[in-house]
């Protein structure tokens, strides 16, 4: 009888132990941090980062590239050319070569007026030059100044920006409207370097860029490209060739 009673106690204790283990397990499951078992969210793939499209169009007529590699056809002539205001033209040059495309001419006149507001005088010597005139000029320089100088400062016919009606050679009274590197040291030359881009013009043949442009430094030669392009080119200190290569 005592043995049966003892066995009953053991069974009771065993059942109690089982309830305790199950209860403790249930308690631990309720209080456990389940974050470790939660799936890690997967971020959706992001779109590749791309540079914004350029706002410039290489086919913009104002951005036409003319140099020793990019040649203008002999028969090319702008659709329309207008005379620059007479007061802004050097008087000892032929008037027919003091014309530009209308947009470039208007911008040039605004530039000259801007310089005048600062007490400076800038005038155009020559602007548009047809193929025939450029050929005559190039041959003249060959005969008078020699081949080495001519290759540095004068464009062979068909490779001159002047044929586009977008380029102008300018000077000032202090150097008798000559086209000379000393123009860069005049007040007008300094003003032009600082402000030309505000009117859509760039200094086309910059100092130190001879290997890119193919021509020696010409502080008197300016080229119309439009205000937005001129601002970028001037701010970056690059040439038209480099600018067009970037867009």
Torsion of Cα atoms, 200 then 202 then 204 then 209, to 10°: -150
Q: Please report the DSSP string for 9-50 in residue order.
A: HHHHHHHHHHHHHHHHHHHHHHHS-GGGGSPPP-PPPPPPP-
Place of tokens 């800038």: 122
Give CA 224 to chain center in angstroms: 14
**Residues belonging to the active site:** 218
The Cα–Cα gap between 51 and 81 comes to 38
Helix (H, G, I), strand (E, B) or coil at 232: helix
Are 109 and 88 spatial neighbours (Cβ–Cβ below 8 Å)? yes
50 C-beta neighbours (distance < 10 Å), count: 6
Closest CA to 201 of 170, 181, 172, 231: 231
């Amino acid at each position: 009888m005592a043995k049966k009673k003892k066995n009953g106690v053991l069974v009771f204790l065993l059942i109690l132990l089982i309830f305790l283990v199950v209860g403790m397990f249930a308690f631990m499951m309720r209080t456990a941090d389940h974050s470790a078992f939660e799936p890690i969210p997967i971020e959706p793939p992001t779109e590749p980062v791309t540079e914004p499209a350029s706002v410039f169009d290489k086919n913009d007529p104002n951005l036409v590239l003319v140099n020793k590699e990019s040649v203008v056809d002999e028969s090319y002539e702008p659709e329309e050319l207008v005379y620059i205001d007479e007061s802004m033209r050097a008087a000892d040059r032929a008037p027919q070569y003091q014309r530009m495309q209308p947009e470039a001419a208007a911008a040039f006149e605004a530039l000259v007026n801007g310089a005048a507001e600062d007490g400076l005088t800038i005038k155009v010597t020559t602007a548009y030059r047809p193929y025939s005139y450029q050929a005559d000029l190039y041959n003249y320089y060959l005969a008078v100044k020699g081949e080495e100088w001519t290759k540095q400062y004068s464009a062979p016919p068909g490779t001159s920006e002047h044929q586009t009606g977008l380029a102008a050679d300018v000077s000032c009274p202090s150097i008798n409207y000559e086209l000379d590197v000393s123009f860069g040291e005049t007040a007008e030359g300094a003003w032009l370097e600082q402000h030309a881009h505000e009117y859509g013009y760039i200094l086309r043949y910059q100092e130190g860029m001879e290997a890119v442009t193919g021509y020696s430094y010409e502080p008197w030669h300016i080229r119309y490209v439009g205000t937005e392009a001129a601002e970028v080119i001037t701010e970056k200190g690059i040439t038209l060739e480099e600018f067009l290569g970037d867009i």
